Amino acid sequence: MKRIEVVAAIIHHEGKILATQRGYGDFKDGWEFPGGKVEPGETPQEAIVREIREELEVTIRPERLVTTVECDYPKFHLTMHCFLASVAEGSITLLEHEAAKWLGKDELDTVAWLPADVEAVQKLKPLLEEARGS
Ligand X SMILES: Nc1nc2c([nH]c(=O)n2[C@H]2C[C@H](O)[C@@H](COP(=O)(O)OP(=O)(O)OP(=O)(O)O)O2)c(=O)[nH]1
Q: Minimum distance from CB of 105 to ligand X (Å)?
A: 18
Q: Minimum distance from CB of 117 to ligand X (Å)?
A: 5
Residue nearest to ligand X (CB): 36
Q: Minimum distance from CB of 31 to ligand X (Å)?
A: 8
Q: Minimum distance from CB of 129 to ligand X (Å)?
A: 21
Are the beta carbons of 45 and 83 closer than 8 angstroms? yes
Here the contacts of 119-128 (C-beta below 8 Å, separation 24 or greater) are 119/67, 119/69, 120/8, 120/10, 120/33, 120/66, 120/67, 120/69, 120/80, 120/82, 123/66, 123/67, 124/10, 124/17, 124/66, 127/66, 127/84, 128/12, 128/15, 128/16, 128/17, 128/104
Nearer to ligand X, 76 or 133 (CB): 76
Nearer to ligand X, 59 or 133 (CB): 59
Nearer to ligand X, 1 or 133 (CB): 1
Over the range 28-56, which residues count as b (16 or more CB within 10 Å of their CB) and which as e?
Answer: eebbbbbbbebeeeeebeebbbbbbeebb
Q: Which residues bind ligand X (CB under 6 A)?
A: 6, 8, 27, 32-37, 78, 80, 114, 116-117
Nearer to ligand X, 17 or 131 (CB): 17
Nearer to ligand X, 56 or 131 (CB): 56
Q: Minimum distance from CB of 5 to ligand X (Å)?
A: 9
